[in-house]
Amino acid sequence: MSKYAAFNNETALDYVKSLGLFFSENAELTCYEFGDGNLNLVFRVADTDNNSVILKQALPYARCVGESWPLTLDRARIEAHVLQRHGNVCPAHTAKVLHHDSNKAATILEDLGAMAILRAELIAGRTFENLGRDVAQYLATTGFYHSDFYLSPQEKKSQIQNFTNPELCAITEELFFDDPYRECERNDYPAELTEQVNQLRQNTTLLCIVARLKAKFFSSPQTLLHGDVHTGSIFVSDGNTKLIDPEFGFFGPIGFDLGSFIGNLLLNYCAQNGRIKEIPKRRDVHSYLLNTISVCLQQFEQQWHALAQQHTRDLALQAPGYLDLFLQEVLQDAMGYCGTELIRRTIGLAHVADIAEIEDDAQRLVAQKQALQLGEQLLLNAKACRSIDDFYQLIISFVH
């Protein structure tokens, strides 16, 4: 068994070369570390003919905190296997795994360098026509084919065991559902938000809603989730969208990934008030973000319907009317998880550059206040919604 050791540029290059899988024997290779992830090392290895691969290696601790926050290296296996399973059913929108080595907690992936990270593109006010459709296809397809609608009970239970991910789930459980709602040293927000934060923490109705969402996150293994669908985990180009980094993957509630994605679009919506000075341009970007949310919700529901009608294997789940009730609950969950994403990204540990890097202090505070209020209202009102139009109108009512 090869011993684990964290790579540097030299050892990463030697490792990729030793595999003999991706480059000609005499190729001149270069290697450099890049990226600013919280948990991993990421290297690009390339030859002089513009052939390249990405080498990703898990570290035994959270890089953003240090060795005081140890983490399992098994998350590299989970990430690679989530990508492989998701890629089997949705290859167009899933980063391709080329090689995985569990002993070294290392995965080699296709290089998506010709594409761009969505977060940076949205911050710059750039738009992508197919984004909502593509993400909906990814979430609906990967969600359906790993759910009770398609998998046999025996296979699903086996896969739940295979993708048990307690350490990274614990991070989500704490950062999403615990820290923002009580005093915690990991929380990070300006003093000007203190009154708004205290009111949120004293809202017992909201706290019960968050508790319900956390309980569902604990105990509803509905499908194999990506587990971390934010705009930093999505590569985009004018023609395609691909998701990366599902190391938080596990079997959980279907609405979680959908809500996380919408939450990140809404965080960017709030941020643009402090970023784009030209009102017409800002309106265009705001309209684009809202339309992308609408398209994503509609396409997600439509594709689930189409898949379920054609491929549902469980007889009981084919009962007339059940699918509509099921999807209504998924969308309600999604709006709730969207709310928790907005709140935790505003006052918790892990902020988003969309808002955090607004240069003007006053404008940044306005964006933070809006994101916090929007998150609170989505949590409080999600259960009252019965249709996609209800959800969309709810969002519209609090962003304008």
Domain with residue 42: its CATH number is 3.30.200.20
pLDDT at residue 289 is higher than 50: yes
Q: What pLDDT sits at residue 1? A: 46
Whether residue 331 lies inside any domain: the answer is yes
Query: Which residues, 6+ apart, have CB-to-CB distance to 56 below 8 Å?
Result: 40, 41, 42, 43, 76, 79, 106, 107, 108, 109
4 falls within a domain:
no
Residues 103 and 124 in one domain: no
What's the pLDDT at 400?
78
Q: What is the pLDDT of residue 64?
A: 65
* Tens-digit pLDDT profile for residues 125-167: 999 999 999 999 999 999 999 999 999 999 999 999 999 999 9
In a domain, 1, yes or no: no
The confidence score (pLDDT) of residue 36 equals 65
Residues 99 and 125 in one domain: no
32-41, 240-249, 269-278: least confidently modelled range: 32-41
CA 95/CA 47 separation, integer angstroms: 21
**Residues 174, 278 within the same domain:** yes
Q: CA 85, 90, 94: angle at the middle one, nearest 5? A: 75
Same domain? For 273 and 156 the reply is yes
d(CA 17, CA 21): 8
Q: Residue 352 sits in a domain of what CATH number? A: 3.90.1200.10
Judgement on whether residues 28 and 161 belong to the same structural domain of the protein? no
Among candidate residues 69, 85, 110, the one where a domain is terminated: 110
In this structure, is residue 17 part of a structural domain? yes
Domain final position from 94, 110, 126? 110
> Quick check: 278 and 375 in contact, CB under 8 A?
no
Q: What is the mean pLDDT of residues 267-284?
A: 98
270 and 321 part of one domain? yes
Task: Kindly state whether residue 293 falls inside one of the protein's structural domains.
Answer: yes
**Residue 219 carries which side chain, given as an amino acid letter?**
S
Phi and psi at residue 93, to the nearest 5°:
-125, 20
Domain enclosing residue 284, as ranges: 116-399
Look at residue 37 and tell me whether its pLDDT is greater than 80. Answer: no
Only one residue has tokens 């915690």, namely 184
Helix axes 322-347, 388-399, angle to 10 degrees: 20
Domain presence at residue 181: yes
Do 206 and 322 have their domain in common? yes
Same domain assignment for residues 50 and 120: no
Structural contact between residues 200 and 206, judged by C-beta atoms closer than 8 angstroms:
yes
**pLDDT mean over 378-385:** 97
User: Which of 343, 321, 350, 323 has its CA nearest to residue 254?
Assistant: 323
β-pairing, 97-101 vs 40-47, is unpaired
Tell me: do 247 and 341 sit in the same domain.
Answer: yes
Q: Are residues 126 and 84 in the same domain?
A: no
Give pTM, 2 decimals.
Answer: 0.96
When the pLDDT of each residue in the chain is averaged and rounded to a whole number, the result is 96
Q: Is residue 171 part of a domain?
A: yes
- Tens of pLDDT, residue by residue over 200-230, are 999 999 999 999 999 999 999 999 999 999 9
What is the count of structural domains for the chain?
A: 2
In this structure, the answer to whether residues 57 and 155 fall within a common structural domain is no
Q: Is residue 3 part of a domain?
A: no
Domain boundary among 82, 110, 138: 110
Q: Give the dihedral sign, CA 212/137/270/63.
A: positive
Secondary structure letter of residue 6 according to DSSP: -
Same domain, 81 and 23: yes
Amino acid identity, residue 44?
R
